[in-house]
Amino acid sequence: MKLAIPDMISNSYFPAVAAIELGMFKREGLDVTLELIYPVDKSYAALRDGVVDFVGGSAHSTLSAFPQWRGAKLLCAQAQGMYWFLVMHRDLGAKRGDVGVVKGRSIGAAPWVDIGLRHLLIEAGIDLARDKVTIAPVPGAQGAGVNFGVTAARALEDRKIDGFWANGMGAEIAVRRGVGTVVLDVRRGDGPKPCFNYTMASIATTEALIARSPDAAAAAVRAIVATQAALKEDVTRATAIGRKLFPPSEAELIAELIRRDLPYYDATISRDFVAGMNRFSRDAGILTGDVAYEEIVATPVSAFWKPS
């Protein structure tokens, strides 16, 4: 079986990566390999087309390949909350929470990830046209094997962009290099309150797989839950995985990033989350109407969301 993620050198989808590296899928009887497919809509297209069996990506982005949620369901969360950071160049003198710093600026964001930023800014009172905010892909982020957050940090350092909306690894690199300032960290309370439930890092699969192999769907959830518990028990396990898969500098950062994320490691997909994601998706024009919770979430596997 294959599991696709849109970014590798990142904390965003680390539970999915770690579930393979720690042998948690194998322990559940699943032979799962990892596929890096960027951007996230291509990961979901691969799921739709039967190229991969699972996607570990942003939950709302399922709609890119499965309109109205027809044909796909969320199995579990990798972590709670929208997980991207708004980082602006240090020379702009931005302060934490200062959303107005985006006015007249160019911000790099990946496809479908950018939707979260656009709507956040609108909810915060920014008029993208009036305030001349440009949100576009990061230069150089289209190549095969490119990792978005790392590429965004480099583009910021080279002044190809004024800021970026990306993962915690990209944010950490930019801050440590002295070129970036974190302006928004939604997961930890920045931005309008509804933003937390715009999306989350989830595991998704097809309705066909669930119907064909419900045991495999349940096993995948148990593997993610066991991985979350293993990282909570010993976060240094992340370093060993990072040293195997990441460049040296990023490998030494990953355990600290995972440590910060541990409070959000809960596989539950709540009704409040789905209501918030649906509202966001409707407002952003990627969903029509209000799709029922049971049409989005594979409820039979909910029994496995908590450690046994």
Kindly state whether residues 57 and 71 are assigned to the same domain.
Answer: yes
End of a domain among 195, 216, 238? 195
Kindly state whether residues 236 and 212 are assigned to the same domain.
Answer: yes
Kindly state whether residues 209 and 77 are assigned to the same domain.
Answer: yes
Q: Which of 288, 256, 253, 237 is nearest to 17 (CA)?
A: 237
* pLDDT at res. 60: 98
Kindly state whether residues 300 and 221 are assigned to the same domain.
Answer: yes
* pLDDT at res. 308: 82
Kindly state whether residues 22 and 122 are assigned to the same domain.
Answer: no
* pLDDT at res. 139: 85
* Category of 281 on φ-ψ map: left (φ > 0), alpha (ψ -120 to 50) or beta: alpha
Kindly state whether residues 51 and 132 are assigned to the same domain.
Answer: no
How far apart are the C-alpha atoms of 192 and 194, rounded to whole Å?
6
* pLDDT at res. 143: 59
Kindly state whether residues 99 and 190 are assigned to the same domain.
Answer: yes
Kindly state whether residues 236 and 95 are assigned to the same domain.
Answer: no
* pLDDT at res. 258: 98
Kindly state whether residues 259 and 281 are assigned to the same domain.
Answer: yes
* pLDDT at res. 146: 60
Hey, how many other C-beta atoms are within 10 angstroms of the C-beta on 43? 32
End of a domain among 167, 195, 223? 195
Runs of H (alpha helix) within 22-64: 24-27, 40-48
How far apart are the C-alpha atoms of 174 and 225, rounded to whole Å?
31
Quick one: which H or E segment has residue 181?
Answer: strand 180-185
Tokens of residue 201, six digits: 């890092």
When divided into structural domains, the chain yields a total of 2
Hey, how many other C-beta atoms are within 10 angstroms of the C-beta on 155? 19
How far apart are the C-alpha atoms of 305 and 308, rounded to whole Å?
9
Kindly state whether residues 109 and 184 are assigned to the same domain.
Answer: yes
How far apart are the C-alpha atoms of 227 and 260, rounded to whole Å?
16
Q: What is the pTM of this model?
A: 0.96
Kindly state whether residues 230 and 290 are assigned to the same domain.
Answer: yes
Residues 137-179: tens digit of each pLDDT:
988 776 545 677 889 999 999 999 999 999 999 999 999 999 9
Say which CATH number the domain at 185 has.
3.40.190.10
End of a domain among 137, 160, 195? 195
Kindly state whether residues 243 and 276 are assigned to the same domain.
Answer: yes
**Low-confidence residues in the chain, pLDDT < 70:** 142-146
Domain boundaries, position 186: 85-195
* pLDDT at res. 22: 98
* pLDDT at res. 191: 96
